[in-house]
Structure 1
């Protein structure tokens, strides 16, 4: 995806969120009076991040941290390093975190952060300086009981380690619970790196049962082959499905008889991309959405399923592995075509669920095994998707609207019971 298309897509992210919110309004009854509280962020911080580069010059980067809602607990959300990060995008991502945490019933509000930077253009030392200065700039608004950052696009466990260390140095004591997604030996949780992809698989298999789709006979296409897409693809393949299409920033692969996901993961680990894995199977990027498959998993960036794609896509089930991949207008078209869509706020919530486990383990200084992590996550995800399915059935609405109803009811009841300060 080129930079211009990325900018065009995420400029509408906040409006997309507001459109989704408007759709839930008719279902809220007397809680409708509280809905405005979700139409604006509680706090939005823009910071200057000066960094000394390896050549001795000083460059300035723009950073953000948005706390959309803290009604149900401390903010929770990732930190994104990308050349096109801006306030509009970060606001939308923080709002989706609010809905996601409430839909899963985690004791968190929604937050998100980012720095407008191309992390691949920085050396490791420059990236560390950027991270430490950004952390120092948002230091006053984050903390284990305030707002807990995590990795996102362009960041990883090492970045979280630098953030945790910087915050701890300012606090004068080690504070492992200030971020999640850390290395395991610094208070990170087992199972975290694979959790989001695992959650996509769990919710996908649960909904497949309800729409009578046999996973073992299903063909799957996955857009994005990072932690989320690659793990989801691997688990579906392991369950007997054929993953016939994979797309990342570098190439689009199509193999009618199924791609060897384990081999592709190894190739991607070495090369950082899927391009070149099997040049004879590479197709043009727009052809990805023309492949006929029972399941599509968008696991890249926002707003990739446009009206045009929604009208043409040949599938039964869409699992949103990324945040906000479907435009509101496209949602309507998919519903008319009776294509089932599992929304991001439920489908990709495995990551924040295990982040919650990591936070709890850090606070207690007591850690669980990976089997315990997976069992607890599976139970929470299955309970959440069942509750959303039942709400959708009762209200005769889409799964996305049902997820928003469940989430908004929880948030707005809490907001009403807390009242307004000062009274």
Structure 2
């Protein structure tokens, strides 16, 4: 990037105003990433990418258009602006489109408090390769592992900048460091696989690669000789690895865009009891060192800590400016966007109230049922909340894990399921979605 991001965004805004735009916002994103994969003790793939991307959104009255480019030459900025304005003149009017009012824009923030970017040096490719090799070796050493499907390590550094024609400018940087491993146990048609991985903003927080490889191997071996479970109605325990998907469905139904379209099973549920009374869902975009943290949203509004569910009751929707205007409400600072896409509502860091019991306590409590560790496919009716997903995991008998299971389907209705969840106390507090294992009584299970 030969010019600063701020200068590029301002140049785009100036060009769009000269071309006839009434209002403008511009984004600049620059970043680099490095990934290393190994196989059988040797380097399998090394990939590095670097780039700068620019996005320009213009308004002509209530008409809007958006263009993007990875070319920052002055003549390209002029061409982008002229093209965007020409497109906007032909676009249909949208009564809800437009920038935030000046008094809605974020005024100040403490970027250092969020600790989004690791100040330590970028790791050398050799260091990433050593992490991947250590994970692979630890996985391969587990008795019963026939091969390691993949072992990888990566690093990324990205910067995002946003500016608007009515006076907002802000930016932040983010780093990420990751290790992952997938092991395969058994042979032929009896092969099973499982994985483990970790991703952190700060390299010093990352788990040891040999721990990741070992756990991936142990999980794969534990899945050998899987059976199909019995068909019937049983309690289902969603393991912490996949339990956040249930809360994800809840967040999707509380998304302002879905509410504005009328395509949500929660559309008439504002203020109603959705979860058990002791449980809340808290969104906090200001947690240090967490991937979902950010000081402002994709429209320049300040992000905020809020309770989406408080003591079991639904308190409100997740709104960007457009969905808020459609619903006669105020934005909640939840606009997300890409360089080439207009804003839409999304969620940042989410935490569900944890329970007092361990996962083992819930397994003992459920008696006979299914512990789900992997979900496959998805059939969710957004209007009714009807839920059906392929699943695999472990069959529980007499309160103890009996044997692995696969090739089954679990089904229910999300409204009914969420109303009776029982949380464990095993959520990982360094994830963007902090959700413990969740026990749901009486789901339909289709197996053998």
Provide TM-score, normalisation by structure 2.
Answer: 0.22
Is the radius of gyration larger for structure 1 or structure 2?
2
Q: Larger strand proportion, structure 1 or 2?
A: 2
The normalised TM-score by structure 1 is: 0.23
Larger helix share, 1 or 2 = 1
Higher relative contact order (CA 8 A, sep 6+): 1
